[in-house]
Amino acid sequence: MNRAAWLMLLGAALTACGGTSGPPPTVLVEIGDEDAGAPGTIEELVRDDARAAVEILTGGLTADDRDLAAWCGIYLRRLGVEHDRGQSATALVDGSGSGDQLVRALSWRRIAADPGIEAPAWTAEDSGEPLVGLFAALAHARAGALPGPLEAAAGMPPGKPRKSVRAPARRVEQLRGLDAAFDDGALGLGIAFLEARRERWTEPGRKGRRRWVAERLRDELAEAVLGAKQLPPPLGESADAEDPTYSNLTELVDTPLVGAPSEVLRGAVLKGRGTLRIGALRALAVAATAPRAGDLGASSAALRSEDPLVRVEAARTYLLLTARATE
């Protein structure tokens, strides 16, 4: 079996499954059962590394470290890898109460997308991160009602959008494209919604009237996460957001590392430590749109790190780049 044929077994199958209440999951990675070829060939190495990456993520679902388990659940669902969805659901519910606001936001985002997971009770008056509240509101809106503290989480600015305040060119598209390490556009869209609401961006609406850009983005977010062609009534009845704020997580998505030369990112993945290595793995997952052997080699090497979180981040990056190589 040649390398291209083998990569197709791992690649972007884009097959759908699941119910009608949420968006169908996208399968980016499938591991075939076919013989990988002779020992020592590229085909065998790719297969072995892919299997190791999947095992890191599936094995991590039951880790004692709940944040680590949540990351595994987030990435397995991001990639569409076959796994025990009951285990990942448990990890996501645990992650929805994490002290790490990015873990918390992405856990709520995945809970909102899965009709099979009952939205956990909202116990915090204010998480300190509006993106967490936004995704939690989507999860509870799917169930038909918003808890009191979330009534304005997806609300519009007070007043009418009378003034013309244009969004910076391509800002929304930029944010949607920068979240590839974590998500398939919904995270960036949520950040863009919060920014548009805070900046009170407007655009032409019906009958010559202005409309909030945030209103359109909220509709798109509901469709992307919930699979809803129409805005669920609880979101449409949201209270006004009296003092809307930006997401504190923007800098984790819109990071300068994404613009670094590929050789710099590879070097940081191979030789960096701690947060630098993790940041480089995430940036590589975004920046390597046409992955080369060096990109795969660097992420493969990180699969063998002694740091469990580095291994999880490397697994996500390796599988994502391998799938992307066949597009």
In degrees to the nearest 10, what's the CA dihedral of 53, 59, 64, 66? 60
What pLDDT digit, counting tens, does each position of 169-215 carry?
899 999 988 999 999 999 999 999 999 999 999 999 887 789 999 99
**Secondary structure (3-state) at 211:** strand
Closest-CA residue to 78 (of 152, 5, 181, 3): 181
pLDDT at residue number 25:
54
Residue 93 pLDDT > 90: yes
CB atoms within 10 A of CB 159: 9
Are 320 and 28 in contact, with CB atoms under 8 Å apart? yes
- Going 29 to 33 to 34 to 36, the CA torsion angle's sign is positive
**Which whole-number Å values give the CA distances from 273 to 206, 279, 309, in the listed order?**
53, 10, 11
- Expressed in percent and rounded to 5, the helix, strand and coil fractions of the chain are 55, 0, 40
Residue 90 pLDDT > 70: yes
Mean pLDDT confidence for 127-140 = 93
Residue 222 pLDDT > 50: yes
pLDDT at residue number 228:
87
Cα–Cα distance, 33 to 31 (Å, whole number): 7
Higher pLDDT, 326 or 301: 301
Residue 33 pLDDT > 80: no
- For 28, residues 6+ apart whose C-beta sits below 8 A from its C-beta are 11, 12, 13, 78, 79, 80, 81, 319, 320, 323
Beta-strand pair 202-204/210-212: antiparallel
**Secondary structure (3-state) at 6:** helix
Percent of the chain with pLDDT over 70: 86
Residue 98 pLDDT > 90: yes
φ/ψ of residue 297, rounded to 5: -65, -40
- Going 83 to 84 to 90 to 91, the CA torsion angle's sign is negative
User: pLDDT-derived band of residue 128, with 50, 70 and 90 as boundaries?
Assistant: confident
Mean pLDDT confidence for 57-63 = 98
Higher pLDDT, 327 or 206: 206
Domain ranges of the chain: 3-95+255-324, 130-253
Residue 130 pLDDT > 50: yes
pLDDT at residue number 8:
40
Q: What is the DSSP string of 148-206?
A: GGGTTTTPPPSS---S--PPPTTHHHHHHHTTTTT-SSHHHHHHHHHHHHHHT-EEE-G
pLDDT at residue number 22:
55
- Mean pLDDT of all residues belonging to the chain: 87
pLDDT at residue number 125:
62
pLDDT at residue number 46:
79
pLDDT at residue number 31:
52
Residue 5 pLDDT > 60: no
Cα–Cα distance, 293 to 244 (Å, whole number): 44
pLDDT at residue number 38:
52
Mean pLDDT confidence for 74-86 = 96
**Which whole-number Å values give the CA distances from 120 to 72, 89, 137, 309, in the listed order?**
19, 11, 11, 25
Alpha helix (H) residue ranges in 96-157: 101-113, 130-143
What pLDDT digit, counting tens, does each position of 266-294 carry?
999 999 999 999 999 999 999 999 999 99
Residue 158 pLDDT > 80: yes
**Secondary structure (3-state) at 210:** strand
Mean pLDDT confidence for 17-25 = 44
The single-letter code of the amino acid at 245 is T
Percent of the chain with pLDDT over 90: 72
